[in-house]
Amino acid sequence: MTTEVTIFVNGAEQTRAVEPRTLLVEFLREGLGLTGTHVGCDTSQCGACTVLLDGKAVKSCTVLAVQAAGQHVTTVEGIGSVEALHPVQAAFWEKHGLQCGFCTPGVMMTAIGLLQERPQPSEGEIRSALDGVICRCTGYQNIVRAVQDAAVRMAARDAQTASD
Amino acid sequence: MQLIGVPQKRVEDPRLITGRGRYTEDVRLPGMLHAAILRSPRAHARIQEIDVAAAQAADGVVAVYTGRDLAGKLGPIPTAWLPPDSDIKATAHPALAVDTVRYVGDGVAMVVAESAAAARDAIDRIKVRYEPMAAVVDQAQAMAEGAPLVHEDAPGNVAFHWKAGTVPEEAFTGAEVVVRRTFRQQRLIPNPMEPRAAVAQYDPSTGDLTLWATSQNPHIHRVLLSSVLGIPEHRLRVVSVDVGGGFGSKIACYPDEALTAYAAMALGRPVKWAETRVEHFQATTHGRDMVIDVELAGRRDGTMTAIRVKNLANMGAYLSTAAPGVPTILFGLIVTGAYTFQHAAVDVYGVFTHTTPTDAYRGAGRPEATYLVERMVDLFAGEIGMDPIEVRRRNLVRPEAFPYQSALGLTYDSGNYQRALDQALETVGYEEIRREQAALRQKGRYIGIGCTSYVEISGLGPSEVAGAVGFQGGLWESANIRVHPSGKVTVFTGGSPHGQGEETTFAQIVADRFGVPLADVEVVHGDTARIAMGWGTYGSRTTAVGGSAIAVAADRVIDKARKIAAHMLEAAEEDIEFRAGRFAVRGAPERAQTFQAVTLQAYLAWNLPEGVEPALEAAAYYNPSNFTFPFGTHIAVVEVDAETGDVQLLRYVAVDDCGKVINPLIAEGQVHGGIVQGIGQALWEGAVYSADGQLLTGSLLDYAMPKARFFPAFETAFTETPAPHNPIGAKGIGETGTIAATPTIVNAVVDALQPFGVQDLAMPLWPERVHQAIQAGRNGR
Ligand code: FES
Ligand code: FES
């Protein structure tokens, strides 16, 4: 038993037949082949699957595809490219915010969600905001540095856009 | 441009930060089927009947296999570390249980279906009738008279018994001070964020099988799986390029990957299997789980003279691939730590229980050894009324003593242990914190300072030693450097990094030696079709051993290029200097050829010197002459809330010496990650089994993983004492944090609780336990 669902993913309208139980993360990975969003657990703890749903960071393993119908989803593939990195991507690269990289897409999407709400977060706020993600490799310190750096980059970018 | 010792952004990152990494689960092939494995819900039971009819009939199901179906078709999973003289009972692990299940998570049946969801649904439709049998999960209980046996041929559940070193009886009978203590190294779940997975594709026309797998050592997997699957080694290709962490848990050869490969061959379609996180908890090897009795003898002047250690190591239900090496060689030989004990002896029992097999987990044996010696130093210091720092200072191997022969026969290569200790003390402001501690105690606040001065065995290792200690493999590493006609370079390494960043570190080594831009060097790893042989990434060996192989191969390339350059410049080879990418005639720097120009000539071969073949590439197989011995001092400052037992980490200082640092950014990142894992063991992580073998901490809901908000920023630094016996001087940094952090934290918490008379605490230091210890101390007074 499947139903058709349309979701706007990284700006493109995508329609797929899904089962009622199909998770948003399955829609992205299996349906669209967007494998940048990862699955690290089955109990909604790890945050590796975090995406932006209508601009808010959510764990895509906790949302059914049908629930996301008609909404806008942004995945790691949609935030920037190697030629034009998103400030958060550039900051994670610069500050060595990743090791194995498996948690990284989810961590970066979480960071984007945080920086949208709090453009100048304190270290404590960053660490609290990362509560929904687990990174086994980095010890978090360089993730925190990367988010701080991203905040600076985004402020600079916004100042640039404002003056243009 | 100087590239060694200079931070470089990682070259592997662009694909990983844009979502273009290709982890095993990301592999999608046309016509691919999906597998799911039914696992035993019982720790010990006889399988009376498996009814697969309903599963077979379910929608989308293509095949169902049980242990009986595989008899004679798929070999058991072997153990690859057999310590000599240990009477080892290495009962091979059947890929699926045939008539007995021996732990919760033991594979019972596999379903292959058109979708992952269909496969998962179908395993629920398999009916298994079990005859439950008594189980035992604790190693001491497993050795007791009358305990249920895990394997009939292992009486007393003893899998092996291994000893090293001797201590004359007088060392203890005549000692001024003897301290005795039992430490429990709780069981841990490795939990790399990427669960294990495998994708297999078989081409019956050629007999080629390609297996994408989450592996730390694809060549070891190829050797072992070719025998398990009965296919020739050259027909099996194992690919593990992007792997989402391992921490030891992706070293082992598991049944699941073999089953996936088998199904792909049997069904003629690609098959994917991907572990769920809950499955990871049950079916991927665990770490630690040792009960360790220690006796330490010393003098009142602070000298530690002898140490005797007995270790009961819980091996789980089967001996996993490298497991027997962990509590024996990797643990036993380093129990003297960084100190000059005259005598040391170790007595290790590997014990079977009805639990998930254990194997290497970041540090593998060395954290457990370091924990016991560092805790004993503090206990001994308390016993003789000396500052534990002073005890360390008096007993550390002195800088002039290197190479130092330890009581257990290792030769520590190089070090300046005092310097690391001094630097850590200065950074933390030791005296000042002691004063603050005293002042705060007056106000009913309890801070504590804990220290660890560790040394570890890494850079595994000399192959002769590997053979002597029963590792069924070599521990050298391969490098192949191919310079292309345009002067761009491809480096093939047998190391298999999965987060450690050697695509960058190795490119730095080569670019630095060739004097070419970093971007001109590509590092290839993790694919048995592209790399002839290699032993993989574990034991902090990849940079020290694999990097040395690369340096040797690079120098061979330069030697050949120098000959060609000399010929081009009409000069004698001895007169050619190679610096910053230019071959120049000594004394006439304007007479020069660039590396790229020489490379091109090597390929054109229009005018090569006599006896020089065309092309420019070189291989090296580097077999280290010794292990490497990284060392350092970590110091933590904690505050314990006496009302709640909650531990707050206030400061954490790490001074590590991993020899020559190639990329400080990466080295520091390794330290950070290791510290968090080590603290995780000290404070939160612990796998708990019920007496009948149920894993009570079976998911991320019940197993506490370290989170960002638990930590302050760490203060890390390096001292550099090069490894004297390898060409790059590097020692290894992957495990130091995990090795040092656990005892550092426990020492700090125990120190904080001195006013309550607390001498020891069982890990993890959950608030409840700390609170109970405080209460006991209060009531005792
Ligand atoms: S996959 Fe772990 S939280 Fe979504
Ligand atoms: S970088 Fe490996 S889990 Fe975060």
CA pair distance B278, B701, nearest whole angstrom: 10
- DSSP string of B693-724? S-BSS-STTTS----GGG----EEEE-----T
Q: How far apart are CA B555 and CA B190, in angstroms?
A: 38
Minimum CA–CA partner of A91 in chain B? B17
B131 burial via Cβ count (<10 Å: 0-12, 13-18, 19+): exposed
The continuous run of DSSP H or E covering B343 comes out as strand B343-352
Residues A57 and A107 in one domain: no
In this complex, the residue of A76, A102, A128 whose CB is nearest that of residue B245 is: A102
Q: Which of A93, A100, A107, A134 to mutate to test the interface with B (most CBs of B within 10 A)?
A: A100
The reply to whether A46 touches chain B by the CB within 8 Å rule is yes
Same domain? For A43 and A104 the reply is: no
Ligand nearest to the CA of A139: 2
Q: Is residue B382 classed as helix, strand or coil in its secondary structure?
A: helix
The domains of chain B are located at: 29-134+196-277, 415-459+628-781, 476-622
- Check residue B130 and give its pLDDT: 98
pLDDT at B781 over 60: no
User: Counting beta carbons within 10 angstroms of the beta carbon of residue B204, is it exposed (0 to 12), middle (13 to 18) or buried (19 or more)?
Assistant: exposed
Same topology between domain B415-459+628-781 and domain B476-622: yes
For residue B510 the two structure tokens come to 């080569």
Task: Calculate how close chain A gets to B191, using CA atoms only, in Å.
Answer: 7
Question: How far is the C-alpha of B454 from the C-alpha of B336, rounded, in Å?
Answer: 10
Q: Of A29, A60, A78, which marks where a domain is finished?
A: A78
Task: State the pLDDT confidence band at B1, using cuts at 50, 70 and 90.
Answer: low
State percent of chain A over pLDDT 90: 95
A27 shares contact with chain B (CB less than 8 Å) = no
Hunting for tokens 């100048």 — which residue is that? A120
Q: Bigger pLDDT: B71 or B372?
A: B372
Tell me: the pLDDT tens digits for B451-468? 999 999 999 989 999 999
Q: What is the rounded average pLDDT for all residues in chain A? A: 97
Measure in Å the smallest separation between the Cα of A103 and chain B Cα atoms.
7
Burial class (CB in 10 A: 0-12, 13-18, 19+), B445: middle
pLDDT confidence tier of residue B84, bands split at 50, 70 and 90: very high
Region B218-246 average pLDDT: 97
List the strands of the sheet with B158-164, edge to edge.
Answer: B158-164, B343-352, B304-316, B287-298, B177-188
Q: According to the CATH classification, is domain B415-459+628-781 in 2.40.50.140?
A: no
Q: Choose the final residue of a domain: A78, A112, A133.
A: A78
List B residues 109-148 in contact with A (Cβ-Cβ < 8 A): 117
Together in a domain, A8 and A67:
yes
A139 lines ligand 2 (CB under 6 A): no
Please state whether beta strands A72-74 and A3-9 pair in parallel, antiparallel, or not at all (unpaired): parallel
Confidence of residue A161 (pLDDT cuts 50, 70, 90): confident
pLDDT at B2 over 90: no
The amino acid at residue B333 is L
Cα distance between residue B621 and residue B534, in whole Å: 9
pLDDT tens-digit map of B96-145? 999 999 999 999 999 999 999 999 999 999 999 999 999 999 999 999 99
- Tens of pLDDT, residue by residue over A72-96, are 999 999 999 999 999 999 999 999 9
Q: Using 50, 70 and 90 to split pLDDT, how confident is the model at B92? A: confident
Q: Domain count of chain A?
A: 2
Cβ distance A99 to B707 less than 8 Å, yes or no, reads: no
| Local confidence band at B264 (pLDDT 50, 70, 90 cut-offs) | very high
pLDDT in tens, B513-545: 999 999 999 999 999 999 999 999 999 999 999
Q: How far is the CA of B74 from the centre of ligand 2 (A)?
A: 34
Is the domain of A93 the same as that of A149?
yes
Token reading at B725: 């016996």
Chain B contact for A67, CB < 8 A? Answer: no
B708 with A94: Cβ contact below 8 A: no
Q: Which of residues 106-125 of A touch B (CB under 8 A)?
A: 108, 123-124
pLDDT confidence tier of residue B286, bands split at 50, 70 and 90: very high
> How many contacts (CB atoms, under 8 Å) link A and B?
179
Biggest alpha carbon–alpha carbon distance for chain A: 53
Contact assignment for B194 to A102 by CB distance below 8 Å: yes
In a mutagenesis test of the B interface, which of A39, A99, A128 is the best target, namely the one with the most B β-carbons within 10 Å? A99
Tokens of A58: 């959510």
Residues above pLDDT 90, as percent of chain B: 98
Residues of A in contact with B673 (CB under 8 A): 99, 136-139
pLDDT(B337) > 90: yes
| Helix, coil or strand: residue B644 | coil
Of A19, A80, A135, the CB nearest to B18: A80
Residue A21: list chain B partners with CB under 8 A: 117
Question: Of A62, A94, A53, A70, whose CA–CA distance to A7 is shortest?
Answer: A70
Let me know whether A91 and A52 are in one domain.
no
What's the average model confidence in pLDDT over B580-602?
96
Answer yes or no: are the C-beta atoms of B717 and B657 closer than 8 Å.
Answer: no
**For position A66, which CATH number holds?**
3.10.20.30
Question: Complex ipTM above 0.85?
Answer: yes
Q: Which domain holds residue A42?
A: 3-78
What is the atom index within ligand 2 of the atom nearest the CA of A137? Answer: 2
Q: Looking at the partner chain, which of A36, A37, A138 has a beta carbon nearest the beta carbon of B20? A: A36
CATH topology of domain B29-134+196-277: Aldehyde Oxidoreductase; domain 3 (3.90.1170)
Q: Is A77 on the interface with B (CB under 8 A)?
A: yes
Region B239-261: what's the mean pLDDT?
Answer: 97
Q: Could B28 and A143 be called an inter-chain contact, meaning their C-beta atoms sit closer than 8 Å?
A: no
- Contact between B676 and A140 using a beta-carbon 8 Å cutoff: yes
Q: Is the pLDDT of residue B30 over 90?
A: yes
CA neighbours closer than 13 Å in the CB half-sphere of residue B486: 4
The confidence band for B269, taking pLDDT boundaries of 50, 70 and 90, is very high
CATH of domain B476-622: 3.30.365.10
> Which domain CATH number covers A95?
1.10.150.120
Mean pLDDT score of chain B:
97
Of A47, A78, A109, the domain-final residue: A78
Q: Which two tokens stand for residue B525?
A: 């790893």
